[in-house]
Amino acid sequence: MDHQGQFRRAALEAGIPDDEITAFTGHLRLSIRLSGGSGGAPVGQFGGLPRLPVGMDWPSAGAGPLPFVFSVACASLPRVDGSGLPADGSLLFFLDHQQDHLAAAAGEQDYAQVVYVPAGTETELAKAPANYAAGEQYDVGATLVARLPPWFETDEDEDEDDLSPFQQQLLGDLERDLPRLDDLCALADALWPPDGGLASAFIGGYVDDDVITSIAEQTLAGREKAGEIVIPVAKWSSHVEKEKHRLTSEWVSLADFSVADEFYSGSFVIRHDDLAARRLDEALSVTTFSE
């Protein structure tokens, strides 16, 4: 479906100028909300046992199997132009949330894996590894949610003087280019409501602000270590903000979900180019502990 066309028609009917609509849709992304009991045909499953290609070993880290979180049938998902998601086949997500969280400090990515099963691949219901307890299985349906960059969200109680020069520049650009930003945001939320009940996961959309901040910091630190740049300590924060802004268009949230009774949040993020090329081994996992 032409979602940008749908939004443009609704915005024009609301009397919003075409140039503002164009500027806004350049930032608008749609995320796929997965939730149980949402009605309609199931698009995937949470918990239980996955269907793996015949002969494929259960994904593991060392001697231990990685817990299966969920899978989706890509052809059953709502089509979102420019998302980069496969048009068919299946995506399966495995994550050992505790080990992934502990390994983050060492930069290890051994405890998470995304498996893409191309359409036409012969699969079978995997047998549970020894001593593996599968989670409760349930089907999920899909709906769409409107997403905007994290820097679109401003704290009404925050004084503009407290913002950094770069943040003030972004805010000024928004006020100049999108004087009817509130109307545009309200229209996007009306078409793709943000509150559709309890979600099991989200696919696509913007990377969480804390996650993109971490990627920006690691990117800059790596460039400094390689001798490409030198950043004065006093200017580190401003460089991170600019790098975050640049990376926001480069990275996409592949999957974001809660695990272990919602004490942990799991996230897989990937560059647009890697997703389009099916280089899912390039996806990064980020697990955060909320308690």
- The predicted-structure confidence for 29-54, as pLDDT tens digits, reads as follows 999 999 987 667 899 999 999 999 99
- Give all domains of the chain, ordered by start, each with its CATH number: 3-161+181-206+252-289 (2.30.320.10)
- Residue bearing the bigger pLDDT, 154 or 238: 238
> For 63-89, what is the mean pLDDT?
92
pLDDT at 274: 95
> For 257-269, what is the mean pLDDT?
81
Per-residue confidence at 154, pLDDT binned at 50, 70, 90?
A: low
Taking a C-beta distance cutoff of 8 angstroms, is the pair 40, 146 a contact? no
Measured CA to CA, the distance from residue 81 to residue 245 in angstroms comes to 22
pLDDT at 159: 60
Measured CA to CA, the distance from residue 287 to residue 99 in angstroms comes to 9
Taking a C-beta distance cutoff of 8 angstroms, is the pair 139, 151 a contact? no
**pLDDT of residue 6 exceeding 60:** yes
Per-residue confidence at 100, pLDDT binned at 50, 70, 90?
A: confident
**pLDDT of residue 112 exceeding 60:** yes
Average of per-residue pLDDT values in the chain:
89
**pLDDT of residue 61 exceeding 60:** yes
For the entire predicted model, the pTM comes to 0.90
pLDDT at 70: 95
- The predicted-structure confidence for 201-225, as pLDDT tens digits, reads as follows 999 999 988 889 888 998 999 999 9
| Lowest mean pLDDT segment, chosen from 85-94, 195-204, 222-231 | 195-204
pLDDT at 196: 63
Taking a C-beta distance cutoff of 8 angstroms, is the pair 259, 69 a contact? yes
- pLDDT > 70 in the chain, percent: 93
Taking a C-beta distance cutoff of 8 angstroms, is the pair 105, 16 a contact? no
